[in-house]
Structure 1
Amino acid sequence: MSRRVVLAVASGVVVLGGAGAFALAYAGEQPPSVAHSAARYTAPAGDRDGSLTFTTDVTASSGVKEVKVLAWPANSPFAKKAITAKDMASVESAKCKPSGGDTVRCVYTVPVTGADAGSSPRGAWHVAVLATSKDGDSKLLTKAADFNVA
């Protein structure tokens, strides 16, 4: 084998190795990903409270720090002015448990009383979610899931 071919192969290995290291470093800096989100609304009936339950899977290579959840009616001011991370700062967090690898399964449940249901707008609602990783990256989905209040 000629010396030129050996040098070309060695250079190619160094370039590919460097590209692989860059890809791994870049992958570690990605914001959290949110998947498989679903909302389930159960209206109160008689003397029994209803509930809103939101579930989602969040993946972050550095780990998940917190997942904030906000249900909002489609005809609210948020429909015209988009929800921001600042809007999500004071909302409640979901409870998350590891579900394999870098992924956690998060569940947010809130009771809905008859009074709550009576004063809530009817129609379409959305669920916003703000996922924050341990390294500080975040992902905001303003319409992670939908449900209907009849």
Structure 2
Amino acid sequence: MSRRAVVLSVTAVAVLGGAGTFALAYAGEQSPVLERSAARYTAPDGDRDGSLVFTADATASSGVRDVKVLAWPADSSFAGKELTEKDMAGAEAATCEPSGEDIVRCTYTAAVTGADVAESPGGPWHVAVLVRAGDGSTTLDTKAAGFNVG
């Protein structure tokens, strides 16, 4: 093989290797993905508390660090201005269990009392979800699921 062919081959390997490294680095920086979100609201009945149960699958190549959940009424101040990650800082954590490669199944459950319903606006509500991956990347879905109160 001529010296020119060797130099071109080495250059091609270096360029392709660099592109592969870039592709792997880019793939590692992908934001977490939230799928199959669902909310189930059960109103309190007499002396029995109701509940809000939210479930979703979260995926992140670097692993899911945590998932925070916040239910909010559609007619609240958040309707006029979008929720931010800062707004989610005080949100409650969901419980997540492994469900496949890089996937966790997350569940959030909250008891709902008659007093809670009396103090809360009726009508449509949304569930906002913040997923934080092991590499620090995040995904915020402000309307991951919905339900009606009243």
CA distance in 2, matches of 1:103, 1:26: 19
Deviations 1:46-93 (A, max 9, x none): 211110001111111111111110000000000001111111101110
Report the residue type matching 1:61 in the other structure: S
SS at match of 2:25: helix
Report the residue type matching 1:59 in the other structure: T
CA distance in 1, matches of 2:3, 2:145: 61
Residue identity over aligned pairs, in percent, reads 66
RMSD, aligned CA:
1.9
How many Å apart are 1:5 and its aligned residue?
7.6
SS at match of 1:85: coil
How many Å apart are 1:38 and its aligned residue?
0.7
How many Å apart are 1:16 and its aligned residue?
3.5
CA distance in 1, matches of 2:39, 2:8: 56
CA distance in 1, matches of 2:85, 2:138: 9
CA distance in 2, matches of 1:69, 1:40: 14
Deviations 1:70-122 (A, max 9, x none): 00000000000111111110111000111111111110000001111122211
* Residue in 1 that maps onto 2:88: 88
Aligned length: 150
Report the residue type matching 1:147 in the other structure: F
The TM-score, its normalising length taken from structure 1, stands at 0.89
Report the residue type matching 2:147 in the other structure: F
How many Å apart are 1:10 and its aligned residue?
6.4
How many Å apart are 1:136 and its aligned residue?
1.1
Consecutive unaligned residues of structure 1, counting only runs of 5 or more, are none
* Residue in 1 that maps onto 2:110: 110
CA distance in 2, matches of 1:53, 1:83: 21
The TM-score, its normalising length taken from structure 2, stands at 0.89
SS at match of 2:27: helix
Consecutive unaligned residues of structure 2, counting only runs of 5 or more, are none
Q: What are the within-5 Å matches in structure 2 for residues 62-77 of structure 1? A: 62-77=62-77
Regions of 4+ moved over 6 Å: 1-10
Q: What are the within-5 Å matches in structure 2 for residues 1-150 of structure 1? A: 12-150=12-150
